[in-house]
């Protein structure tokens, strides 16, 4: 479901910036648990990862992360209302079938949600499409025919999605090459990181 997670990803530091010490965190589509492990080490967070893939679940166990094997498409029935400070969905939003439902579930279970996704409006992606091909990059490493990313969007698309649903964007960081892109983020930003509340 996720992109490669073996190495430290640029969105991790941006996410960690928003998370205070000792927070309760639920990491949806947590992959091999790298982010949670990082947050445990740098922010002493408590929480769980949710992951569907057997191999990733095994890696989470090896990483010392508490993981719940579950399909996010089934919702978050294992988790009670308001039981986490932050619910994180990093680089998974674009792979969800029911985007709206998972965002609602994040806000039910957590006080705040954090999502990260590759900005499809990034100029290099636009260039790929202008040249007549689907983009392939570090953030979008798949071919069109084997990509799990069925709901790609741009920074502007996501903000419109939130405003139409009364979802309050608390903070935004758009990154390019691991650095904040402050000018024309919808064009110059590669990876979007959002914090939102109900």
* Smallest distance from other proteins to CB 108, Å: 14
17 touching other proteins, by CB under 8 A:
no
Of the chain, the end-to-end C-alpha distance in Å amounts to 26
Q: Give the closest residue to 61 by CA, choosing from 51, 71, 74.
A: 51
Q: From residue 71 to residue 100, what is the string marking binding to other proteins with x (rule CB under 8 A)? A: ------xxxx--x-----------------
* Smallest distance from other proteins to CB 56, Å: 11
DSSP 153: B
34 touching other proteins, by CB under 8 A:
no
* Residues 67, 169: Cα–Cα separation, whole Å: 28
* Residues 51, 81: Cα–Cα separation, whole Å: 20
User: Which residue has 């949600």 as its token pair?
Assistant: 113
Q: Closer CB to other proteins, residue 76 or residue 192?
A: 76
* Residues 97, 89: Cα–Cα separation, whole Å: 14
Chosen residue from 7, 54, 145, 146 binding other proteins by CB under 8 A: 54
184 touching other proteins, by CB under 8 A:
no
Which residues sit at the interface with other proteins, rule CB under 8 A?
A: 24, 46, 48, 54, 57-58, 60-62, 64, 66-70, 77-80, 83
């Amino acid at each position: 479901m996720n992109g490669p997670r073996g190495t430290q990803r640029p969105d991790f530091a941006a996410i960690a910036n928003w998370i205070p010490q000792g927070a309760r965190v639920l990491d949806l589509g947590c992959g091999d648990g790298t982010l949670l492990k990082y947050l445990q080490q740098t922010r002493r967070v408590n929480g769980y990862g949710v992951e569907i893939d057997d191999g990733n679940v095994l890696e989470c166990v090896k990483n010392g992360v508490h993981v719940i094997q579950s399909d996010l498409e089934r919702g978050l029935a294992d988790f009670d209302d308001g039981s986490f400070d932050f619910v994180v969905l990093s680089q998974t939003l674009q792979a969800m079938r029911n985007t709206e439902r998972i965002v609602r579930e994040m806000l039910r279970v957590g006080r705040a949600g954090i999502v990260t996704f590759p900005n499809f409006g990034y100029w290099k992606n636009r260039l790929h499409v202008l040249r007549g091909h689907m983009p392939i990059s570090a953030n979008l490493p798949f071919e069109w025919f084997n990509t799990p990313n069925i709901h790609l969007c741009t920074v502007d698309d996501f903000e419109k999605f939130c405003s139409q649903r009364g979802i309050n964007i608390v903070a935004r960081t758009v990154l390019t090459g691991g650095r904040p892109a402050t000018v024309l983020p919808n064009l110059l930003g590669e990876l979007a990181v959002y914090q939102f509340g109900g």
